A = this chain, B = another copy of it.
Amino acid sequence: MEMTLKRRETMHRLCGKGLEIFSEKGYYNTSLDDILTELSLSKGAFYHHFKSKEDYFINIVQNLIVQKVYALLIEPLDTDENPLPVIIESLENALEPGKKNEMAYGFMLNDFLTEFNKRNEEICGYLKNIISVWEVNLVAVLKRGKLDGHIARHVDCEGTATYIIASYLGMRSLMTDSSNRQLKYQYIQQLKQYFKSISATQTA
A residues lining the B interface (CB < 8 Å): 24-26, 28-29, 110-111, 113-115, 117-119, 124, 128, 131, 156, 158-160, 162-163, 165-171, 173-174, 176, 183, 186-187, 189-191, 193-194, 196-198
Contacts and interface: CB of A to CB of B under 8 A. Distances in A.
Nearest to A197: B197
Given A113-B173, A114-B110, A160 B190 contact: yes
Q: Name the prevailing secondary structure of the A interface residues.
A: helix
B117 A156 contact: no
Nearest to A161: B186
Contacts of A113: 173, 176
A128 to B, nearest CB: 8
A115 B115 contact: yes
Nearest to A202: B202
A123 to B, nearest CB: 13
A190 B118 CA distance: 28
Nearest to A114: B114
B168 A117 contact: no
A53 to B, nearest CB: 15
A3 to B, nearest CB: 38
A34 B115 CA distance: 19
Given A114-B114, A198-B193, A163 B176 contact: no
